[in-house]
Structure 1
């Protein structure tokens, strides 16, 4: 017996600690002076600019830079803070996933708890992986996909994250935390274009057509800028864009809506269960996927408006149904939480 719940799904983020000595505001990191601190000590420890002490004195209107009273608050613009190399954390793995580490030979299997460094490449073959970054943003790597950690930097004391990924093949889904400060960025690049996001949820796919890289981007929430050498386009939530290597970016198109399910709000059923939904105008076919703990267990396509759902065992699962249009854009998904077991 299983229960199906038609209700919004909450994405529960794991908290990543931000170690600071004082409260932060939107533009500055606020440093609380300790006993024997000098302006030169603060610059040496936290700021890369060699002229920091002069700038910091002017910025804070400090009259006695040789002596800073303990507990004084010194404001440091987040853009001045020293970056540090960050690592991404593998928080879930299903199936065959491997990593090629920068400077090493040969791929190695990926397990939960592995840390990924800058320039490491992770490849999902017959599997998938969930990766968490320093600012708690997450990336779902789907089967037959590969991504390189092109740039991983985190300004810990300022809470600024610069994450740059290179999609080598396949398809990924990103859930990006609301970025702190104008200096934060989360980019996914391909030969066709770069997707630069801010506080958003989106999907990116990379394929090849007639010898050219083709990047398909579908924005579900937030905002996203697409750029290449030929120009720039801005996407709003619920829009998609197809970028072709060496060509001007096309105008965004609207995503198809979520399918409407023919199912009561709380219904007990026996597995396998045939899900039914109403047809969507403009749909070429539908995608049906099953996830557990955020990981993709399987994803199939159908031209019908019914699909027999079975589960691999007991537990909590998520089914998603979405419509795909003639251009190959996957629309917004209808999600169901399924609890199977006694």
Structure 2
């Protein structure tokens, strides 16, 4: 008898399905003791007597079984761990939904609904955590305590969406959680898994730890072990367990991101994946999810978050919709203070080699700017690395011809006086080339035809005037060839200057002016011009 009395109540209680628990009687058991241990109230022993039709409550037969109805088991509310985005809770006996707060009690019968950006994690009485994903609707239909301290029997009715429970293991199997969808039931005693109620009425179960028993509305129960998943069709027929897609390789994942507007993630694809689920959370257990998205590509874009350290989670989804194994890695977001915008030189600009001015826009939250210049994009050994207060600008050293990259970052002063640098803007390139030269020599042929040397593709601007200050201009022409004729101008002395319009887009200075004498078209025998009565040179005989 002493041995029998030492056996805990929990080890003598067996699950009786939807009805409740069955307790195996040992010598010394009383209904009052059973009511105290199972129902938390010894005064409820008459309810046990009535439920089991016991004629003499003082004489319990050892070895017999007593039903502890679920309806009599005390309820234990779930509690909100974390909530984000659009989340609504409707408590039993009320019709008005409200936004739940952290540590709020959610009694049996509570309905939860999340929006497209919503997430909530709740903790059950036995320590299980249920992470409710976006676009999900469920009801906490049963939250009951069992005899063993800390144990519970919980049932969640999942109408649509996805939930991810983590159920701590118990040696005696006393912890129990059932997830019921319109087409199936998933039952666990210690595991980590996800259950999804799809729009097409299928139920998808993916197990990442432990084992889950899945039973469709028709057919036998299937055990789904770690690393496998199972789909239950809309008609309630369960398929066969199949291997989940492997966890994505995080080798080339970014350690940090710097965009202040979006989280743009370029992650390696997984063979066999038809879609990807990405989540950003504050913790590695993903109980505090802030951002989530599902996309056809492993490249994902999420709304921005505040600067800080987060956990990035990714898993591939196969053609049936079963989510695979998940990879979780730290991710740092550092986007502030935001970098300035580039003002000059423009991206891809071609400039004359020499000292150049780098100019960028100001940023409201910045008090200092850091500018770097490198040859060929190697910022490990920059040609210029300078910080400037006030205006966002700097002058480079004399640059020889070549290709260059420059980048700029903002700095803000923190409360402790230290400077906090934000991310560099994406580097922007330009080219420095030898400046074009104006024609140094001009050849005059036939008194009015000018020729000068040129490089292929060069064009020219030519100006001609009667005065050395080139005011007013007689000619201001753009030439495609290195030659020009002054034959159309009246006879006399004119000044001519030329500058080169290079294929690089650069323009040289004007050449030294050349003095050109244009002869008269009609001349006397002595070579002097023949004039009309008004003194103008004749243009034809």
> Does the pair score TM above 0.5?
yes
- State whether structure 2 residue 309 is matched by structure 1 residue 316: yes
1:283 counterpart SS class: coil
2:33 counterpart SS class: helix
1:331 counterpart SS class: strand
Q: Provide the residue aligned with 1:282 in structure 2.
A: 272
Under a length normalisation based on structure 1, what TM-score does the superposition of the two structures give?
0.74
How big is the alpha-carbon RMSD for the aligned residues of Structure 1 and Structure 2?
3.4
Q: Provide the residue aligned with 1:118 in structure 2.
A: 108
Question: 1:147 and 1:270, CA in 2 relative to 1: closer, same or farther beyond 3 A?
Answer: closer
2:198 counterpart SS class: strand
Q: Which one scores higher on RCO, CA 8 angstroms, separation ≥ 6?
A: 1
Q: Provide the residue aligned with 1:16 in structure 2.
A: none
Specify which of 152, 155, 161 is matched with residue 152 of structure 2. Answer: 161
- State whether structure 2 residue 125 is matched by structure 1 residue 134: yes
Contact 2:148 2:174 (C-alpha < 8 Å) held by counterparts: no
Count of aligned positions = 292
CA drift at 1:310: 8.0
Q: Provide the residue aligned with 2:247 in structure 1.
A: 258
CA distance in 1, matches of 2:69, 2:174: 10
- State whether structure 2 residue 189 is matched by structure 1 residue 198: yes
- State whether structure 2 residue 319 is matched by structure 1 residue 326: yes
Specify which of 215, 219, 222 is matched with residue 233 of structure 1. Answer: 222
Contact 2:10 2:147 (C-alpha < 8 Å) held by counterparts: no
Question: 1:165 and 1:247, CA in 2 relative to 1: closer, same or farther beyond 3 A?
Answer: closer
Q: Provide the residue aligned with 2:176 in structure 1.
A: 185
Stretches of structure 1 lacking an aligned partner (at least 5 in a row): 1-21, 30-37, 60-76
Specify which of 149, 152, 157 is matched with residue 143 of structure 2. Answer: 152
Greater Rg over alpha carbons, structure: 2
2:189 counterpart SS class: strand
Contact 1:90 1:116 (C-alpha < 8 Å) held by counterparts: yes
Contact 1:86 1:154 (C-alpha < 8 Å) held by counterparts: yes
Question: 1:333 and 1:251, CA in 2 relative to 1: closer, same or farther beyond 3 A?
Answer: same
Question: 1:85 and 1:289, CA in 2 relative to 1: closer, same or farther beyond 3 A?
Answer: same
CA distance in 1, matches of 2:88, 2:229: 30
Q: Provide the residue aligned with 2:482 in structure 1.
A: none
CA drift at 1:269: 4.4
Under a length normalisation based on structure 2, what TM-score does the superposition of the two structures give?
0.48
Contact 1:175 1:202 (C-alpha < 8 Å) held by counterparts: yes
Q: Provide the residue aligned with 1:292 in structure 2.
A: 282
Question: 1:311 and 1:24, CA in 2 relative to 1: closer, same or farther beyond 3 A?
Answer: farther
CA drift at 1:243: 0.9
Contact 1:202 1:218 (C-alpha < 8 Å) held by counterparts: yes
Contact 1:88 1:131 (C-alpha < 8 Å) held by counterparts: yes
Q: Provide the residue aligned with 2:373 in structure 1.
A: none
Contact 2:256 2:331 (C-alpha < 8 Å) held by counterparts: no
For 1:30-49, what aligned pairs fall within 5 Å after superposition? Answer: 42-46=33-37, 49=48
1:84 counterpart SS class: coil
CA drift at 1:174: 0.9
Q: Provide the residue aligned with 1:271 in structure 2.
A: 258
Q: Provide the residue aligned with 1:338 in structure 2.
A: 331
For 1:213-228, what aligned pairs fall within 5 Å after superposition? Answer: 213-228=201-216
Instruction: Please identify which structure carries the higher strand content.
Output: 1
CA drift at 1:339: 4.5
CA drift at 1:78: 12
Contact 2:119 2:134 (C-alpha < 8 Å) held by counterparts: yes
Q: Provide the residue aligned with 1:301 in structure 2.
A: 294
CA distance in 2, matches of 1:268, 1:105: 46
Cα deviation code 1:221-241 (max 9, x no counterpart): 101011123222110111111
2:208 counterpart SS class: strand
Specify which of 85, 88, 93 is matched with residue 103 of structure 1. Answer: 93
CA distance in 1, matches of 2:228, 2:247: 13
1:85 counterpart SS class: coil
Q: Provide the residue aligned with 2:414 in structure 1.
A: none
CA distance in 2, matches of 1:305, 1:43: 56
1:27 counterpart SS class: helix
CA drift at 1:260: 1.0
Contact 2:74 2:145 (C-alpha < 8 Å) held by counterparts: yes
CA distance in 2, matches of 1:147, 1:109: 15
Specify which of 14, 23, 27 is matched with residue 11 of structure 2. Answer: 27
Contact 2:132 2:163 (C-alpha < 8 Å) held by counterparts: yes
CA drift at 1:206: 1.0
CA distance in 2, matches of 1:80, 1:100: 26
Contact 1:206 1:215 (C-alpha < 8 Å) held by counterparts: yes
Q: Provide the residue aligned with 1:6 in structure 2.
A: none
2:92 counterpart SS class: coil
CA drift at 1:99: 1.1
CA drift at 1:197: 1.1
CA distance in 1, matches of 2:154, 2:88: 21
CA drift at 1:53: 5.3
CA distance in 1, matches of 2:328, 2:131: 17
2:190 counterpart SS class: strand
CA drift at 1:309: 7.7
Contact 1:262 1:275 (C-alpha < 8 Å) held by counterparts: no
1:45 counterpart SS class: helix
